[in-house]
Structures are given as structure tokens and as C-alpha cells.
Structure 1
Amino acid sequence: MSDAMPEPVVDDQTDGAAGEAPGEPAAAAPLGVARERTGHPAVDARLARLAEVDALPADGHPEVYEDVHRGLRDELTSLDAHPAPRPHDNRS
């Protein structure tokens, strides 16, 4: 008996999805993840951009995810920003 792992069997005939040529990457398929509205228009707009990944191959996902993450971080940061001081009313 051997502790060595058996080599995986690669079948070139079933490398891709049905109807695709062997060795070709699988076509983009929607993930079907539902996005619920948050009630904050700016946040909802950022999250809506996530739908773009359904039409992209996997190597295009990071750019969208990073952009959405950056935008959400900016939205959160803006909550900490203090409004500019208002000028005092000097009416006598």
C-alpha cells in the first residue's frame, strides 16, 4: 500500500462546458445573486455595478469588485466628514 496520491485523470473530451471546444475557457454565466436595495441611493448605485460581472469572464471580476469596494469605502468615509462650519449671523 502506498501513501502517494494518485494522479488526477484528465479527459480532454470533457475539458469545457457542453458545446465548447476542449481547452477553451467556459463562457461567462450569471451568478444569480440577488441584490437588495439599501435605501441609500449612492450605495445602491455602487452595488448595482456588481451586475456587470455576470457578463464578464472571471479575470474581469477583480476590476469591478475593487471599484465597487473603493466607492463603498468612499461613501462610508463621507459619513465621518464634518460639514463645513456655517458663517455666524452677525445681524444686530
Structure 2
Amino acid sequence: MNDEDETAAVAAAVHEPAAPAPLGAGRTPTGHTAVDTLLERLGAADDLPADGHIAVYEDVHQGLREALTALDARPGPPAPPSSYDHRS
């Protein structure tokens, strides 16, 4: 193999896409089942090529937005009774 062929082979190898590989990012459970399920879904991106990540990220993002919206929609505890008399 001459130098020109060797250079072309190295250049071709450099531009080959890498195989999907886990990032190794840890996911700490939150204690909220819906949120934890969504965070585990991020692990599905580990087995996809990079162009498939966006669908997983958008799905998880939408699910997290819905979980946050649900927190805002839940009624809170009743207001404490007033400590003063409203009569004049």
C-alpha cells in the first residue's frame, strides 16, 4: 500500500460514524413514578443513532411539561382561617 492509499484509508476510517453507545449518564430516581418513567425513557436514546435522539428527547420533554402542568392544576391545601374578625 502506498502513502496515498494509506492516507485515503485513514481518512475514510475517520469519517465513518461511530456505533451507538451509552453515554453512561446516571439517572437518579425522583420518587415521582411518572417523572422517573420519563427519565428512564432517555435510556432508549442510547441504542439509537444520533438522528433518532430528537424524537426521544421531544417525547420526554413533552411528558415532563405535562407532569409540571399537572402539579399546577392540583388543588393545594385549604387556606388557613383568618385570625381576625371581619366585623366592623
User: Is the TM value for this pair above 0.5?
Assistant: yes
Does 1:56 pair with 2:53? no
Q: 1:66 to 1:16 in 2, by over 3 A?
A: farther
**Gap regions ≥5 residues in structure 1:** 1-9, 18-22, 84-92
Q: CA RMSD in A?
A: 2.1
| Mapped contact 1:16–1:26 kept (Cα < 8 A) | no
TM-score where L is the length of structure 2: 0.68
Q: Which amino acid aligns with 1:13?
A: V
Q: Which of 20, 29, 37 is 2:29 aligned to?
A: 37
1:13 aligns to what? 10
Alpha-carbon separation, structure 1, partners of 2:38 and 2:29: 11
After TM superposition, the structure 1 = structure 2 runs for residues 71-90 of structure 1, keeping only pairs within 5 Å, are 71-82=63-74
> Identity of paired residues, percent?
58
Alignment partners' CA distance in 1, 2:72 and 2:35: 15
How many residue pairs match? The answer is: 69
Code of the aligned partner of 2:10: Q
Q: Compare relative contact order (CA 8 Å, sep 6+) and give the higher one, 1 or 2.
A: 2
| Higher alpha-carbon Rg | 2
One-letter code aligned to 1:24: E
* Aligned counterpart in structure 1 of residue 19 of structure 2, from 24, 27, 36: 27
Letter in 2 for 1:44: D
What residue identity is the alignment partner of 2:26? Answer: A
